[in-house]
Amino acid sequence: MRILITYATTEGQTRKIARFCADQLISRGHSVELLRVEDAGDIELAVFDTVLLAGSVHIGKLQEPLARFAETHAQALNGMPTMLIVVSLAIAGDDPNDREELDRIAAAFAAEAGWTPGQVEHVAGAFKFSEYDFFRTLAMRWIAWQKGEEIKAHEDREYTDWAGLAAVITKWQAAAAPLPERAKTAG
Ligand X SMILES: Cc1cc2nc3c(=O)[nH]c(=O)nc-3n(C[C@H](O)[C@H](O)[C@H](O)COP(=O)(O)O)c2cc1C
Residues that bind ligand X (CB under 6 A): 9-14, 56-60, 87-90, 125-126, 128, 136, 139-140
Instruction: Report the residue number, 43 or 89, with the smaller CB distance to ligand X.
Output: 89
How far apart CA 117 and CA 43 sit, in angstroms, is 18
Instruction: Report the residue number, 34 or 87, with the smaller CB distance to ligand X.
Output: 87
Instruction: Report the residue number, 37 or 177, with the smaller CB distance to ligand X.
Output: 37
The answer to whether the CB of 58 falls within 8 A of the CB of 14 is no
How many Cα neighbours within 13 Å face the side chain of 2?
6
Q: How far is the CB of 74 from ligand X (least distance, A)?
A: 23
Q: How far is the CB of 79 from ligand X (least distance, A)?
A: 28
Burial of 144 (0-12, 13-18, 19+ CB in 10 A): middle
Q: How far is the CB of 49 from ligand X (least distance, A)?
A: 26
Instruction: Report the residue number, 60 or 114, with the smaller CB distance to ligand X.
Output: 60
How many Cα neighbours within 13 Å face the side chain of 21?
31
Q: How far is the CB of 81 from ligand X (least distance, A)?
A: 24
94 phi and psi angles, rounded to 5 deg? -120, 30
Contacts of 120 (CB under 8 A, 6+ apart): 83, 84, 86, 103, 106, 110
Instruction: Report the residue number, 99 or 170, with the smaller CB distance to ligand X.
Output: 99
Q: How far is the CB of 78 from ligand X (least distance, A)?
A: 25
Q: Which of 127, 137, 131 is nearest to 159 (CA)?
A: 127
Closest residue to ligand X, based on beta-carbon distance? 125
